[in-house]
Amino acid sequence: MEVILKQDLLNLGYANEKVNVKAGYARNYLIPQGIAILATESNKKVLAETLKQKAHKEAKIKNAAEDLSKSLKDLTVRIGAKAAESGKIFGSVNAIQIAQALKDQHNVEVDRKKIQVDHEHIKELGTYKAKIHLHKDVQVEISFEVFAE
């Protein structure tokens, strides 16, 4: 029996996917639990339209991420930190400070959770790299400079 899954199910498939299962499994578990619906002609047409709209939205989001990555590619961000004479800073520089500096210096808002710093803890003055994951297929590397205030 062919059904269309409404949600992800381990070892069976993902949401909006057509799968073949035994008739008893579909009638007694999947359909009553609301996990799947029968794959009738009308439901297949609805699924096709849903997938088409989802692909269009995904392409739009990816294009926006690519445009943002082009604008971020050549940027250098400067982050001020209190430092000792030896070049070691008090505290460390993290993704929150990079996101705030991007917003303040270049008017670009990036979620701090999408920023990955190459070194775990930056505790010295210098120039470093960070990766920004804008989309699952789009990521950009920016450089940032930590200077003494």
pLDDT digits (tens, 9 = 90+) for 122-147: 889 999 999 999 888 889 999 999 99
pLDDT digits (tens, 9 = 90+) for 96-111: 999 999 999 999 899 9
Q: Which two tokens stand for residue 130?
A: 């960070």
CA distance 82 to 103: 21
How distant, in Å, are the alpha carbons of 1, 80, 146 from that of 126?
Answer: 63, 11, 5
How distant, in Å, are the alpha carbons of 53, 55, 79 from that of 60?
Answer: 11, 9, 32
Alpha helices in the chain (DSSP H): 23-25, 41-72, 95-106
| Domains of the chain by start residue, with CATH | 2-61 (3.40.5.10), 69-148 (3.10.430.100)
Q: Confidence class of residue 23 from pLDDT cuts 50, 70 and 90?
A: very high
Task: Judge whether residue 62 has pLDDT over 80.
Answer: yes
Mean pLDDT of the region 21-30? 96
What share of the chain has pLDDT > 70, as a percent?
Answer: 100
Task: Judge whether residue 27 has pLDDT over 90.
Answer: yes
Task: Judge whether residue 120 has pLDDT over 80.
Answer: no
Mean pLDDT across the chain, nearest whole number? 91
pLDDT computed for residue 73 by the predictor: 86
Query: Please, what sign has the CA dihedral across residues 90, 95, 97, 98?
Result: positive
Which residues are registered as beta bridge partners of 19?
3
